[in-house]
Amino acid sequence: MSQITRPLLRMLAVLWTAVALALPAGAADTAEQRADRTAMLRTIERHAQSATDALGREHIDPAVLDVMGQLPRHAFVPDNMQDQAYDDRPLPIGYSQTISQPFIVALMTDLLGVEADDVVLEVGTGSGYQAAVLAELAHEVHSIEIIPGLAESAAERLDTQGFDNVETHLGDGYYGVDTAAPFDAIVVTAAATSVPPPLIAQLKPGGRMIIPVGSSFSLQHLMIVEKDEAGRVRTRQTLPVRFVPLTRGS
């Protein structure tokens, strides 16, 4: 082996160690999974070029891409779907629910505009992946899930992955989490027929909500809901999307 090659290999070893250390605790990661994640990011960036009306630009926030490029998405899907974790599509996670398409996760996170000191509410914990993405960007994340099996497994998964700034709640997300309100940002990961008034009430002045709105049997649109400092609310409809319906309590 040449003297030129040895330093290069040492440098690569240091880089791979840095990547491994950046991953949440408990994350198993292979070279193939890292390659799949890189390919996922390239696909997200391609999709972003057709979402300029929503984003106001042709790219996803690099901070969002950086988080998704390090987060082991395969740890948030069923064991039998690990090899499909980075595919450009939603995947079933049980209970007739899905983990969203990676581009939609990136887009909604970008549109939310989370800052480092924000307290964020997620409605629809699902597998916990969206909460994990938000946890890397925000100070604190509250996530509510109505399906007990998903709420329990997501809480365990997030704990295993070392996300100590995420608090999971079991309950009807339509009503938010009043005990932790108000929130700087709210993201809803299931389609509502209209924007729930309790969530608007729990949004801070100056805050923003991203929510898919529409019937489960017709076209849905991703909607941006903003509350100004005087408490006035305005909405803006963006891209057509397809989400599972927001499950309500009895």
The yes-or-no answer on residue 100 being catalytic is yes
- Give 73's contacts (C-beta < 8 A, 6+ positions apart): 37, 40, 85, 86, 99, 102, 129
Within a 13 Å sphere around the CA of 57, how many CA atoms are in the beta-carbon half?
8
Which of 106, 104, 111, 143 is CA-nearest to residue 127?
143
| Longest pairwise C-alpha distance within the chain | 70
Which H or E run includes 222?
strand 220-227
What is the three-class DSSP state of 20? helix
3-state secondary structure of 147: coil
Q: One-letter amino acid identity for 128?
A: G
Give the amino acid at 223. M
By C-alpha distance, which of 137, 88, 143 is closest to 116?
A: 137
For residue 46, give the H/E element and its range.
helix 31-48
Closest Cα partner for 176 from 158, 195, 159? 195
101 neighbors 90 (Cβ within 8 angstroms): yes
Q: Out of 2, 50, 96, 100, which one is annotated catalytic? A: 100
Q: Which of the residues are catalytic?
A: 100
